[in-house]
Structure 1
């Protein structure tokens, strides 16, 4: 199963574009800072990831705006150029983090 849920801040929102099928698309930058358990010990984690959203969820992301915090859910895929990965955001929960 390829599913990712990430509590993060919306660092940047690209310009609205449209897919060949006419769906709205947004390129995003997300930043996560928190703590995780590794080998039974707490570890501080800070990371940034490129993301993309396609369809109706774009409107919610635009309303959230840069700096907004939420729980993002989706899946990982290769970038178009094959270098690196991109997080495809398919759901958004705007709950306090």
Structure 2
């Protein structure tokens, strides 16, 4: 199964664009910062991940506030067929209060 749930902020967001098939899409960089426990030892985890929102969710994602924490769900896929880089495809998200 390829499913990812991540709490992060939107660090950067590109403008809404459309694929050749007419599907709206927004690319972004998400920033995660947390403390995890690994082998019984606390570990600080900070990273940036490339993400995109396509279809109906892209409009809502395009209006989401930068720097505010959200819980994102989705999956990972290659950036393109020949790439080894991964992109987080956002299926849904909600604000964290």
Gaps spanning 5+ residues in structure 2: where? none
TM-score if structure 2 supplies the norm length? 0.92
Q: 1:90 maps to what in 2?
A: 91
Output the aligned Cα RMSD: 1.2
Q: 2:32 maps to what in 1?
A: 32
Kindly report which structure 2 residues correspond to 1:35-54, keeping only aligned pairs within 5 A, or say none: 35-54=35-54
Gaps spanning 5+ residues in structure 1: where? none
Structure 1 runs of 4+ off > 4 angstroms?
none
**Is the Cα–Cα contact under 8 Å of residues 13 and 65 in structure 1 kept in the other structure?**
no
- Bigger drift between 54-63 and 69-78 goes to 54-63
Mapped to 2, the partners of 1:76 and 1:15 lie a distance apart of 21
SS at match of 1:82: coil
1:68 Cα offset (Å) = 2.4
The size of the alignment, in residue pairs, is 96
SS at match of 2:53: strand
**Is the Cα–Cα contact under 8 Å of residues 7 and 72 in structure 2 kept in the other structure?**
yes
